[in-house]
Amino acid sequence: MMAGRKFKVLVSILVLFIAFSFSACEGNEFEEQNYSGNALGTSYHIKIFTGKEDLQIEKGLDSVFQVINKSMSTYWEDSDISLINRGIDSIKVDANFQNVFKASEQIYKETNGYFDPTVGNLVNAYGFGPDKSLEALDVDTIDSLLQYVGFDKLKLTDEDRIAKENPHIYLDFNAIAKGYTIDVIAEYFENKGIHNYLIELGGELVSKGEHITKQKPFIVAIDDPLQEEGERTFQATLKLKNRAMATSGNYRKFRVDSTTGERFVHTINPLNGKPERSNLLSASVLAESCMLADGYATAFMALGLEKAKKLSLELEDVDVYFIYAENDSIKVYASAGFQESLLTD
């Protein structure tokens, strides 16, 4: 990923899952069921409406999380991605890994390298994190690290293996795998005959159908970037129907220039290894799949406001909501499609 990427230790997820607690109306063939727990280093909340019984949802969810972790968790020492990162080149990756790899490659090319799941070594060297300041690296150190950065230095072979130009290249799908996991859960529900649901995992979302009890689309929200610690106020609320939504940002970790009062965050340019100021504080993305919404949200943060606007206009079935700083004010850019989903009341 990249600075401003969706490493769990670097990014504060900025989308609130609105968990309705209404019971299904008497006589309604659909029953509301709610599931919550912890997975992939974060929490999840799921609401479904179904007339079917004994679907063993918890067991199915556990199976999905197990498969994804075994394939792509950098926290599991024996996962496929961890073994690959240790230089083992005999690992045959599964279909999940392949799907995420191909989507990452697509976004890497579309952003001309600004979205890069191999930038982790460089980001860590700068000391990015919730409580760490930006470290200064000399030119020689940056150059030595850049040899390990570049998604084009990886290849998915015909034998379903990952070939690396340099064995020290470190691959991390945290900026996109969470969204992909939600897509897998949504497919699981569809196969179970469940067609009305809202899935939230670590702030990323997918909805299908509607909230049956209220007979309205599901409602979700985007955090207010100026809220105080412990508050929960919203910048915007919107209807989410038959789409995915992901947000990347760093509201509470932006810096304020002591002279100008300008708010900004630091991102790392994976092309030259240097940190850059960005006034883009968050990027929310609506897309047809949560994997793409997740990846694009991270990519837009790395690109910065103007480049992100330009790319968003070139992408099909993608709508965006950018919160950015201009002088001492917080402003918003919303694409036409995103504006249609916003609630004004």
With a pLDDT cut of 90, the percent of the chain lying above it is 69
Of residues 176, 112, 172, 121, the one with CA closest to residue 144: 121
59-106 confidence digits (pLDDT tens): 999 999 999 999 999 999 999 999 999 999 999 999 999 999 999 999
Average pLDDT, the chain: 86
Note whether 250 and 282 are within 8 A (CB): yes
pLDDT on residue 240:
97
Instruction: Name the residue with higher pLDDT: 140 or 20.
Output: 140
Q: Is it true that 52-174 and 206-343 share their CATH fold?
A: yes
Residue 253 has a pLDDT of: 54
Topology of 206-343 in CATH?
Answer: T-fold (3.10.520)
User: Is 294 within any annotated ligand binding site?
Assistant: yes
Provide the pLDDT for residue 54.
82
Single-letter amino acid code for the residue at 158: D
Amino acid in the structure at residue 257: D
pLDDT-based confidence at 275, cuts 50/70/90? Answer: confident
Diameter of the chain measured on Cα atoms = 71
DSSP 216: B
pLDDT at 12 over 60: no
The pLDDT tens digits for 38-62 are 999 999 999 999 988 889 999 999 9
Q: What is the pLDDT of residues 123-133, one digit of tens each?
A: 778 776 444 55
**pLDDT for 240-271, tens place per residue?**
999 999 998 865 555 555 565 555 566 788 99
For residue 201, pLDDT beyond 60: yes
The least confident of 97-101, 123-127, 143-147, 315-319 is: 123-127
Enter the tokens of residue 131: 């409580």
Q: Which residue has the higher pLDDT, 121 or 215?
A: 215
Where are the domains positioned within the chain?
A: 52-174, 206-343
If you average pLDDT over residues 203-228, what whole number do you get?
Answer: 90
The CA distance from 223 to 246, in Å, is 12
Degrees, nearest 5: CA angle 308-279-229: 120
pLDDT at residue 24, rounded to an integer: 38
Handedness of CA 74, 179, 49, 60 (dihedral sign): negative
Per-residue pLDDT reduced to its tens digit, 149-173:
999 999 999 999 999 999 999 999 9
293 assigned ligand-binding residue: no
Nearest to 178 by CA among 316, 58, 3, 13: 13
What class has domain 52-174?
A: alpha beta
Query: pLDDT tens digits, residue range 295-306?
Result: 999 999 999 999
SS3 240: strand
Q: Locate 180 and state its tokens.
A: 């992909």
> Can you tell me which residue has the tokens 């569809």?
190
* pLDDT confidence band for 279 (50 / 70 / 90): confident
The reply, when asked if residue 259 is annotated as ligand binding, is: no
Instruction: Give the per-residue pLDDT at 35.
Output: 97
Measured in Å, how far apart are the chain's first and last C-alpha atoms?
37
d(CA 167, CA 234): 45
Write b or e for each residue in 30-55: b if 16 or more Cβ atoms lie within 10 A of its Cβ, otherwise e.
bebbeeeeebbeeebbbbbbbeeeee
**HSE toward the beta carbon, residue 298, CA cutoff 13 A:** 32
